[in-house]
Structure 1
Amino acid sequence: MTTTPIPTTAPPRLAAPAAAGAAVSGAAYDEAIALTRRLKLPHIRRALAEIVPTAKAQRWDPAEVVRALLAEEAAGRDAANLRTRRSRAAFPTGKTFHIWNEDASSIPIPTQSALRTLEWVGRRENLCICGPSGTGKSHFCEALGQAAVDAGLTVAWFTIEDLGALVRRHRVDDSVSKAMTRITRTDLIIVDDIGLLPVSADAAEGFYRLVDAAYERRSLAVSSNLHPSGFDEIMPKTLATATVDRLLHHAHVVVTQGDSHRLTEATTGNGVVPLN
């Protein structure tokens, strides 16, 4: 699996000459526009009005004109695909590494750096981040997911109760296995906030089914207030044992420590904008 996309960049945009309107008129131009519609090339269509007169004024080589137009189409498609992957991931807050303070995290910086390479995703390994509430587990998982999307991977975000709802929805027509198969076509699957509350029977079943379906096929990232060895406190012991056995077999386990970042901000008056 390739985790770093090949960048596609268009040539620098140059100012179109004053006679651009005249330069892009005529039967040939109209036919070119019609062909871009027929062939579904919207980004080339938008670029034609600028690139054609610029190429004519600067006497570009015909091959350069073709390259510039194709580069515009490729860049436009890459941007559209990125938006689609990000939307389908269903991230809860939009947090990325741009607002992540690696020095404030209890996760060792070398570990953070290694995880941010996403090489573990390519190896179909799992990640379990466990520790007290407010120590950055969800933020780090979401930032990893956002980085994976930027790298061209597909990501899906769930809470454990989302999995319970999925089981209930698909149990009606006995399609739970098919639903799990669809989910595990995703490169990275994130399950957030395990351990805050007791897990319902449906959620426990959904979590087990997901872990089992993804085992050695896809990467899972799990954030939890409990270490996985304690999952039998919130779900049936037999199911917890089978789930943890598969989850941890190829997993990196990261334990966070310290006080809640949220509580620290609140007690220092940094959680709100001061009132005037």
Structure 2
Amino acid sequence: MRTVPGSGPDPLEEALALTRRLKLPHIRRALADVVPTAKAQRWDPAEVVRVLLAEEAAGRDRANLHTRRKRAAFPTGKTFGDWDEAKSSIPRATQDALKALEWIGRRENLSICGPSGTGKSHFSEAIGQAAIEAGMSVAWFTIEDLGVLVRRHRADDSIARALNRIIRSDLIIVDDIGLLPVSPDAAEGFYRLVDAAYERRSVAVSSNLHPSGFDEIMPKTLATATVDRLLHHAHIVVTDGDSYRLAQATTGQGVKPFS
């Protein structure tokens, strides 16, 4: 084995310089603590290498997690950490099965529908956050975001390329369908997205309407074609009950009391 001789009087400084050259920022941050500890405890050289490489790997995992979460563009940061399983009308067995995320690996879809305030958006975002934690990539949209996408790319006819970038994500979430009539551009964008992802990626939607009623808010032809593809390989979850937000508001839990 060839040994590379040192070129400077301070091996630690040279090691730090090499971590910059080789783009190993997490090892660089760990060196100042690991080297004295290794000397004091007389670590085996292989242990020093293992600890430093483990620090680099863990640091890169944290950075990748941050990047995936930022790219997902979640609206609020809600997770299952602040989700009350017992209060949800979604059966516990269904919650557990969806949290396992195996359906995403099978490229199946998810439709969560029900009245406002029954946890649809929270559960959808929490599923997305769990997927991010599991190393997957996620994209989050409202249906009107898809209308903006269509308008932006219509001028140069680049919508297909834009959609191809989106469906690189393992899971695509479209939130809050059905509160308002859907604009023609948004209806087109929704159809194009579902069509592009069909049997290739998982799409999760949350809506006040059951998908069978999407023709109430978008052109019937587009609604039929969209729902046909969306529900072919889909889990349909229906929520019910009173609004969590209204319940908190009427009991004073929606604000911090004045002192």
Shorter-chain TM-score: what band?
over 0.9
CA-to-aligned-CA distance 1:154-211 (integer Å, 9 cap, x gap): 0110000000000000111100000000000001100000000000000000000000
User: Cα offset for 1:33?
Assistant: 1.1
TM-score (norm 1): 0.90
**CA RMSD, Structure 1 to Structure 2 (Å):** 0.9
User: Which of the numbers 200, 204, 221 marks the counterpart of 1:217?
Assistant: 200
Structure 2 unpaired stretches of 5+: 1-7
The aligned counterpart of 2:15 is: 32
Structure 1 unpaired stretches of 5+: 1-24
CA-to-aligned-CA distance 1:126-159 (integer Å, 9 cap, x gap): 0000000000000000000011111111011000
The aligned counterpart of 2:102 is: 119
Identity across matched positions, percent: 80
Distance 1:241 1:75 in 2: 47
User: Which of the numbers 141, 147, 150 marks the counterpart of 1:164?
Assistant: 147
The aligned counterpart of 1:92 is: 75
The aligned counterpart of 1:233 is: 216
User: Which of the numbers 39, 51, 55 marks the counterpart of 1:68?
Assistant: 51
User: Cα offset for 1:27?
Assistant: 2.4
User: Cα offset for 1:32?
Assistant: 1.0
1:59 maps onto 2:42 in alignment: yes
Letter of the 1:241 counterpart: T
The aligned counterpart of 1:129 is: 112
Distance 1:103 1:201 in 2: 39
User: Cα offset for 1:254?
Assistant: 0.2
1:79 maps onto 2:62 in alignment: yes
User: Cα offset for 1:272?
Assistant: 1.3
1:247 maps onto 2:230 in alignment: yes
User: Cα offset for 1:110?
Assistant: 0.5
TM-score (norm 2): 0.96
- Count of aligned pairs: 252
Distance 1:186 1:234 in 2: 27
CA-to-aligned-CA distance 1:111-136 (integer Å, 9 cap, x gap): 00000000000100000000000000
Compare 245-254 and 258-267 and name the one that shifted more: 258-267
Other structure's SS at 2:86 match: coil
User: Cα offset for 1:26?
Assistant: 4.3
Distance 1:28 1:156 in 2: 45
